[in-house]
């Protein structure tokens, strides 16, 4: 459905704008730069730029061109705790467009960082929000638009209160001819259960004169939640043009009715072939499927639809009968394979990468259905096999002997926890005793998706390596279990009722008493895979932000201090969380370096090469 337990460090606003600002200047000095017109650059999400002025020889000499501070916080004390800046700006028509965690849309001058306009959607969230983030906006330009024509360039955003809004790219004012005064209510027809748990967090897709969007939903509230429909609207009028429901063929025959299967991540577009590629999430609820028997097509899939009509073309399910919250969280990557075959790469939370023919859905690299463990929960009919890809970029099993800790007693504590849980490798089903899910629902690869280099046919992705503990709780015991939970469980975990199912759940990161993961670092990496051969080319550590650590790089959305989260909680130190000033950030950085120096002397952790001595 969506993902509350995503701890990987997201790129900061300043960093993103710095890169784009320099590229814009490079274009002014040399060849014109085409911009960055979509969330993933092309509609196919390759995130590839041909810009060549910045390379490995001079990247270390870059200096900030300008900084823009969004002022997104403070907003609401409770919602601010969830707020995360995860947006990728787009560069269209000489302007930079971005969104904040609270769906403000901002237009900037890419050369100077000066604000051109800002739109406030006046969110209505009286019941709170499952997620507080916006990953970006989309743009559509009228084919025969004239200079000065209102809304010739339209900027679209989906909001946390489930609206689709069209703005004039020149002024930031709503396009009054779109829907009702510039917006469409997306809650209509979805069987809304809980306002605030049905949202849009990803940038809509654009195909010709259509704007296409999915939805984000709060996990594990109940069996019967909102419908996971994908819808296409006319970019000019907001008229609904088509609807596709991934699980409609079976979900509404269950008792109680199942929901979700929604596309909360980014949709990819092949405009030349009239195709859109929909990444779908799990059917509800995530961890118990006794009501939703079968393989649950087309949840946990990538589905190709005819972009102009919404007609089903093909589907590929990466997980059958999901019991682990293994949504397809990444934008599908469209590329040309060895012989020019149109291809698609699917990166997954399991860390497996599937490479398919884009036109048919047939695998281009081997995929085999492998037997997996059976559930021991009464009424649960787990699927007997799961697809195994030729490519895997993360470990798939955590054994007691793999336990890690900063002290021998912590390592033993972690080993005992692993031993006490069901931990038999990937696809170990949820259980009453507790199951270790590894890779967990944070990945593998999550919404950060992948980037593709067509010159070297390499796919780059950031990965997480964080184990999760999941326990099913019989309905009669749920309230008592929640009331008696330890402070640590409340801090690092989440209880969810799964109303309508015979079990609630508890899930939490598997952390030692010091707040560090029970598996050895690195807890995040960047991996590169050759998509022609299916061979992993390399894998290097990348910092991750872990709950319970004493500091974190996601402390203020819209501010620019990225302090490499994996290394921010060195044992024995409690470096103070910074306020939003450069002085406080520098003090924290000095503290971290002192901690790193001592940890290296004790052989606890080694400093990453990119963490330079503060000046």
What Å distances lie between residue 338 and 47, 333, 452, CA to CA? 20, 15, 14
| Spatial CA neighbour of 63 closest among 12, 10, 22 | 22
Q: What is the sign of the dihedral through the CA atoms of 350, 353, 356 and 358?
A: positive
**563: which 2 tokens?**
């302090």
Q: ω before 298 within 30° of 0 (cis)?
A: yes
Length of the chain: 615
**599: which 2 tokens?**
């940890």
Cβ neighbours for 253, distance < 8 A, ≥ 6 positions apart: none
The rounded Cα 266 to chain-centroid distance in angstroms is: 9
Place of tokens 């237009």: 107
Task: Choose, from 103, 161, 322, 325, the residue flagged as catalytic.
Answer: 325
| Spatial CA neighbour of 374 closest among 307, 318, 319, 424 | 424
Cβ neighbours for 601, distance < 8 A, ≥ 6 positions apart: none
Q: Residue 305 and residue 301: Cα distance in Å, rounded? A: 12
Q: Is 325 a catalytic residue?
A: yes
| Spatial CA neighbour of 446 closest among 567, 326, 302, 286 | 326
**87: which 2 tokens?**
């947006």
Beta-bridge mates of residue 90: 97
| Spatial CA neighbour of 472 closest among 433, 427, 417 | 433
Q: Are 291 and 323 in contact (CB under 8 A)?
A: no
How many other CB atoms sit within 10 Å of the CB of residue 95? 20
Place of tokens 């990803």: 202
Q: Are 274 and 307 in contact (CB under 8 A)?
A: yes
Q: Residue 159 and residue 101: Cα distance in Å, rounded? A: 10
Beta-bridge mates of residue 347: 353
Q: Is 46 helix (H, G, I), strand (E, B) or coil?
A: coil
CA dihedral of residues 106, 108, 113, 119 (deg, nearest 10): -30
Just list the catalytic residues: 325
């Amino acid at each position: 459905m969506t993902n509350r337990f995503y701890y990987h460090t997201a790129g900061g606003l300043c960093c993103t704008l710095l890169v784009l600002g320099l590229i814009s200047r490079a274009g002014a000095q040399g060849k014109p730069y085409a911009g960055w017109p979509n969330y993933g650059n092309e509609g196919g999400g390759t995130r590839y730029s041909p810009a060549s002025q910045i390379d490995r020889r001079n990247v270390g000499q870059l200096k900030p061109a300008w900084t823009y501070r969004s002022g997104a916080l403070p907003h609401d004390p409770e919602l601010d705790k969830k707020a995360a800046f995860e947006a990728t700006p787009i560069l269209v028509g000489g302007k930079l467009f971005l969104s904040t965690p609270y769906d403000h849309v901002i237009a900037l001058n890419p050369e100077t960082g000066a604000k051109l306009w800002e739109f406030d959607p006046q969110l209505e969230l009286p019941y709170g929000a499952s997620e507080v983030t916006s990953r970006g906006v989309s743009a559509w330009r009228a084919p025969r638009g004239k200079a000065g024509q209102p809304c010739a360039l339209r900027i679209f955003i989906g909001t946390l209160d489930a609206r689709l809004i069209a703005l004039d790219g020149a002024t930031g004012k709503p396009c009054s001819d779109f829907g009702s005064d510039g917006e469409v209510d997306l809650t209509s027809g979805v069987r809304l259960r809980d306002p605030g748990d049905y949202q849009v967090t990803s940038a809509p897709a654009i195909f010709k004169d259509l704007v296409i969007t999915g939805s984000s939903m709060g996990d594990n509230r109940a069996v019967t939640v909102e419908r996971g429909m994908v819808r296409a609207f006319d970019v000019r009028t907001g008229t609904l043009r088509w609807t596709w429901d991934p699980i409609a063929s079976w979900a509404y025959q269950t008792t109680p009715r199942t929901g979700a299967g929604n596309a909360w991540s980014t949709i990819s577009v092949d405009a030349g072939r009239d195709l859109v590629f929909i990444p779908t999430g799990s059917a509800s609820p995530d961890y118990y499927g006794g009501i939703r028997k079968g393989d649950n097509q087309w949840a946990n899939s990538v589905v190709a639809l005819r972009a102009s009509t919404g007609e089903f073309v093909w589907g590929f399910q990466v997980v059958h009968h999901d019991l682990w919250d293994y949504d397809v969280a990444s934008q599908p990557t469209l590329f040309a394979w060895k012989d020019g075959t149109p291809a698609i790469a699917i990166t997954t939370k399991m860390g497996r990468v599937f490479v398919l023919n884009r036109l048919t859905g047939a695998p281009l690299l081997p995929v085999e259905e492998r037997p997996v463990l059976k559930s021991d929960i009464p009424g649960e009919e787990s699927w007997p096999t799961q697809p195994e890809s030729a490519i895997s970029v993360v470990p798939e099993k955590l054994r007691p002997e793999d336990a890690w800790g900063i002290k021998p007693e912590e390592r033993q504590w972690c080993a005992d926890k692993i031993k006490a849980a069901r931990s038999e490798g990937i696809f170990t089903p949820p259980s009453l005793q507790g199951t270790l899910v590894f890779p967990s629902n944070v990945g593998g690869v999550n919404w950060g998706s992948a980037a593709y280099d067509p010159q070297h046919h390499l796919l780059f992705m950031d990965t997480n390596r964080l184990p999760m503990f999941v326990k099913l709780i019989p309905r009669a015991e749920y309230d008592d279990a929640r009331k008696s939970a330890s402070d640590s469980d409340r801090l690092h975990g989440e209880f969810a009722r799964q109303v309508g199912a015979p079990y609630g759940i508890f899930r939490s990161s598997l952390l030692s008493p010091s707040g560090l993961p029970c598996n050895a670092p690195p807890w995040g990496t960047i991996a590169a895979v050759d998509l022609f051969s299916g061979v992993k080319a390399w894998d290097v550590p990348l910092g991750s932000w872990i709950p319970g650590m004493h500091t974190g790089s996601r402390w203020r959305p819209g501010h620019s201090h990225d302090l490499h989260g994996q290394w921010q909680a060195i044992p024995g130190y409690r470096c103070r969380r910074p306020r939003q000033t450069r002085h406080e950030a520098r003090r924290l950085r000095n503290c971290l370096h002192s901690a790193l120096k001592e940890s290296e002397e004790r052989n606890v952790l080694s400093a990453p090469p990119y963490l330079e001595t503060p000046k």
